[in-house]
Amino acid sequence: MSAYVEIPRPYESSPGRFTVELYFPAASKRRAVQHHHVAWHLADVHGVEASTPYKVNPRWSIYEENWGNGERHGWLDERRLRVDGAPRALALYLAALTRVLDEVEGLATCAVRAFGAWKRSVAAEPHLEYEDASTMRVRSREFRADVLSALVRGLRGTMSDSSERDSSRPLWEQYGVVAGEVWAAAGGVDLERADDSAVTDHMARLVPAVVAEAERLAALEAARVEAERLEAERVELFQRADEACAREADEADAERYARDGQGSLFPVSAARPALVVPPPMPVKPRRAPRRRGRLRPETRAALSGTVRVIPAEAVERLYGERASFAVPEVSADRRRYGTAA
């Protein structure tokens, strides 16, 4: 599999027709869109149908669109591509797609190496006078993206520039020339060739509708059997615990009956009702711990530093003796008409 495209298992969407939804996981959105363009153009070459899925905006509402932040309902998700076609054509397309993406990225890497060689040459010194390491990193990144765009256009037969380099201009402005050089050195990219082993692997991954339904039913049956097994284990544990409790109660009653001379009485366990196993309790999702209440005013003041705590030794040095903080006696009238302070 290629590192530039994720290919899930194709499924049969209609009799004799399979569908796969590709995903382009490049970190840069612009790079993922370029891979999307390559896959789109390759679909025309292999006779399969391609479409870009629509992605709904989860933040959208009629109020947000008209009176809020102007949120759109959705847009085309260019990180994904849905491809439909016959089994053989789809397998050929997927096998060719991984190879073409790898070759196009390899050509872009060769172009970046040519850019690095130009930076170290004497011809680049006049153009690098006002450039530093950080700006050159940006130049290299933008140069690779521009070269990759030119190579994608070259797949469609519209290579933008095939002239020679101009020494009076910096090389990052001549990405089309470098793209034409690496394209000519590699002899282009074959869009139709597909390895037989890769085609065989993709054909083996095609899932007919009957097989997919059988797999779904098998998974449901396995889940049902597992649930029955867990329920049987739970009932058995309850029965063992109930039997152990009854046995302990009978032993205690037997000792008491023997001591009281009532050995002919029947054991208590014989009169116990039948065991009823309660249904399993649903597992509630755990919530994050939430802080309840607020800090007291004195605690908040102490933490903020607005209240200064004076040690007892300092109080004794100031007043000569240990200060008394006893609450004074409250008069009867004040106790009657107001809260005691």
Q: What is the pLDDT of residue 159?
A: 67
Burial class (CB in 10 A: 0-12, 13-18, 19+), 219: exposed
**199 CB-near residues (< 8 Å, 6+ apart):** 91, 92, 95
Q: pLDDT at position 80, please?
A: 92
At which residue do the structure tokens 């004040």 appear? 334
Q: How many CA atoms lie within 13 A of 207 on its CB side?
A: 14
pLDDT at 90: 92
Report which residue type is found at 12. Answer: E
Reported as a pLDDT band with limits 50, 70 and 90, residue 338 is very low
More reliable by pLDDT, 277 or 149: 149
Pick 281 or 185 by higher pLDDT: 185
Mean pLDDT over 50-77 rounds to 82
Q: Are the beta carbons of 84 and 17 closer than 8 angstroms?
A: yes
Q: Which residue has the higher pLDDT, 201 or 62?
A: 201
Same domain, 214 and 202: no
On whether both 184 and 202 belong to a single domain, the answer is: yes
The answer as to whether 236 is a domain residue is yes
Residue 286 included in any domain: no
315 is a domain residue = no
Using the predicted structure, report yes or no on whether residue 22 has a pLDDT greater than 90: yes
Please write the tens of the pLDDT for every residue from 161-204: 557 888 888 888 888 888 888 888 888 888 888 888 888 888 88
Statement to judge: residues 202 and 58 lie in one domain: yes
- For residue 250, pLDDT over 50 is answered with yes
Nearest one of 204, 215, 202, 207 to 7, comparing CA atoms: 202
53 in the same domain as 94: yes
126: confidence class by pLDDT, cuts 50, 70, 90? confident
Instruction: Please determine, for residue 26, whether its predicted confidence score (pLDDT) is greater than 80.
Output: yes
Strand partners, 254: none
Residue 239 lies in a domain: yes
Distances (CA, A) of 151 to 78, 110, 229: 19, 12, 59
Pair 255, 116 in one domain: no
Q: Are residues 181 and 228 in the same domain?
A: no
Query: Of 92, 77, 96, nearest to 36 (Cα)?
Result: 77
Q: Read off the pTM.
A: 0.59
Domain boundary among 166, 188, 207: 207
**Nearest Cα to Cα of residue 195 among 95, 97, 314, 275:** 95
Q: Looking at residue 328, what is its pLDDT?
A: 58
Please give the tally of structural domains in the chain. 2
- For residue 172, the enclosing domain spans 11-207
Tokens 């190879």 correspond to what residue?
99
State the pLDDT at residue 51.
Answer: 92
Q: Mean pLDDT, the chain, as a whole number?
A: 80
Judgement on whether residues 166 and 250 belong to the same structural domain of the protein:
no
Please tell me whether residues 232 and 136 are part of one structural domain.
no
Helix (H) or strand (E) holding 317: helix 312-319
Please determine, for residue 340, whether its predicted confidence score (pLDDT) is greater than 50.
Answer: no
Give the residue among 269, 240, 237 at the shortest CA–CA distance from 253: 269
Provide mean pLDDT across the span 281-299: 64
List the one residue out of 99, 90, 100 whose CA is nearest residue 37. Answer: 100
Let me know: does 303 contact 295? Beta carbons within 8 Å: yes
Residue 311 has pLDDT above 70, yes or no: no
Tell me which residue of 137, 34, 21 sits closest to 81, measured CA to CA: 21
Residues near 25 by beta carbon (within 8 Å), at least 6 away in sequence: 4, 5, 6, 32, 79
**Residue 103 resides in a domain:** yes
Let me know if residue 203 belongs to a domain: yes
pLDDT tier at 221, thresholds 50, 70, 90? very high
pLDDT of res. 83: 93
- pLDDT digit string (tens) for 66-122? 777 778 888 888 899 999 999 899 999 999 999 999 999 999 999 999 989 988 888
Could you tell me if 26 and 78 are in contact, meaning their C-beta atoms sit under 8 angstroms apart?
A: no
Is residue 327 in a domain? no
* Res 216 pLDDT > 50: yes
**Structure confidence at residue 187 (pLDDT):** 83
Do residue 172 and residue 87 come from a single domain?
yes
Judge if 200 and 216 occupy the same domain: no
Backbone angles phi, psi at 182, to 5 degrees: -70, -30
Nearest Cα neighbor of 148 from 183, 119, 193 is: 183
Shared-domain flag, residues 95 and 237: no
Residues 158 and 246 in one domain: no
Q: From 260, 275, 298, give the residue that closes a domain.
A: 260
Q: What is the pLDDT of residue 259?
A: 74
CA 307 to chain centre: 48
For residue 294, what pLDDT is reported? 62
